[in-house]
């Protein structure tokens, strides 16, 4: 009589499922109890990300009445919501607004009063052309980018994707932003970080890295702010 050893695969799957449940439960617990999630719900923001831009803006005083702001990677719209309130004389989410907001994302975004939204891929020339048309020949005062690539887990490939998006954002700012303007871009600590910082230093007079309190400690994300464009050539 032969004996068969039991395959370890079902046991592994069970372990993985149990592990995933624990991770999901822990994330959900952290999310529900996150003070910024609670604050976003209370103050009517679509995501806690609003407080990242809020801290950056309050630190550096970037967004001023009358500004033209381009929001790249805007969905679900928390950054556009924050900018819209900053451009409102009374800080209101609706009503009078002194300024212009143009937002773009690959994914759809629920409308925000006063915000022009373009659904498109920033990596595609067609989307950039639509952005240019929305600008109507004007130059932006501020470009904010919360864009992030879909990460594959392969560090070299992911680093290249992050770097490419930052390059595109800088190039857009160089072509469509006022010389004294500012670019805020999400980046990640990793193999591409030093390269990305150098790209900023090559393009801007002043470069400041900021890790807002609303960025989770375990997250590798940080933000680079470039202020004052260097002259090309």
Catalytic one among 6, 52, 186, 213?
186
Angle between helices 78-86 and 50-60 (to 10 degrees): 40
Q: 46 by DSSP, 3-state: which?
A: coil
- For 146-158, give one letter per residue: b (16+ CB within 10 A) or e: bbebeeeeeeeeb
- The radius of gyration computed from the CA coordinates of the chain, to the nearest angstrom, equals 21
The residues, any chain, with a CB within 8 Å of residue 122's CB and separated by 6 or more, are 72, 73, 104, 106, 128, 147, 165, 168, 169, 172
Q: Is 9 a catalytic residue?
A: no
Query: Which residues are annotated as catalytic?
Result: 186
């Amino acid at each position: 009589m032969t004996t068969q050893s039991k395959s370890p695969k079902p046991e592994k799957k069970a372990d993985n499922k149990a592990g995933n449940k624990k991770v999901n439960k822990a994330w959900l617990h952290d999310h529900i109890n996150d003070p910024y999630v609670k604050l976003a719900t209370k103050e009517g923001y679509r995501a806690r990300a609003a407080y990242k831009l809020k801290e950056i803006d309050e630190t550096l005083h970037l967004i001023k009445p009358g500004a033209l702001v381009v929001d790249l990677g805007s969905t679900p719209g928390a950054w556009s919501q924050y900018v819209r309130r900053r451009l409102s004389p009374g800080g209101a989410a609706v009503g009078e607004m002194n300024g212009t907001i143009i937002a773009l994302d690959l994914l759809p975004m629920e409308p925000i009063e006063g915000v022009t939204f373009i659904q498109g891929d920033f990596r595609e020339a067609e989307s950039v052309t639509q952005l240019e048309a929305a600008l109507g020949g004007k130059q932006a005062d501020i470009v904010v980018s919360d864009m992030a690539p879909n990460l594959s887990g392969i560090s070299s490939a992911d680093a290249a994707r992050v770097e490419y998006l930052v390059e595109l954002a800088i190039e857009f700012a160089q072509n469509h932003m006022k010389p004294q303007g500012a670019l805020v871009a999400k980046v990640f600590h990793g193999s591409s970080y030093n390269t990305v910082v150098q790209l900023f230093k090559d393009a801007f007079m002043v470069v400041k890295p900021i890790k807002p309190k609303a960025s989770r400690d375990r997250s590798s994300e940080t933000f680079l702010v470039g202020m004052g464009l260097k002259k090309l050539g």
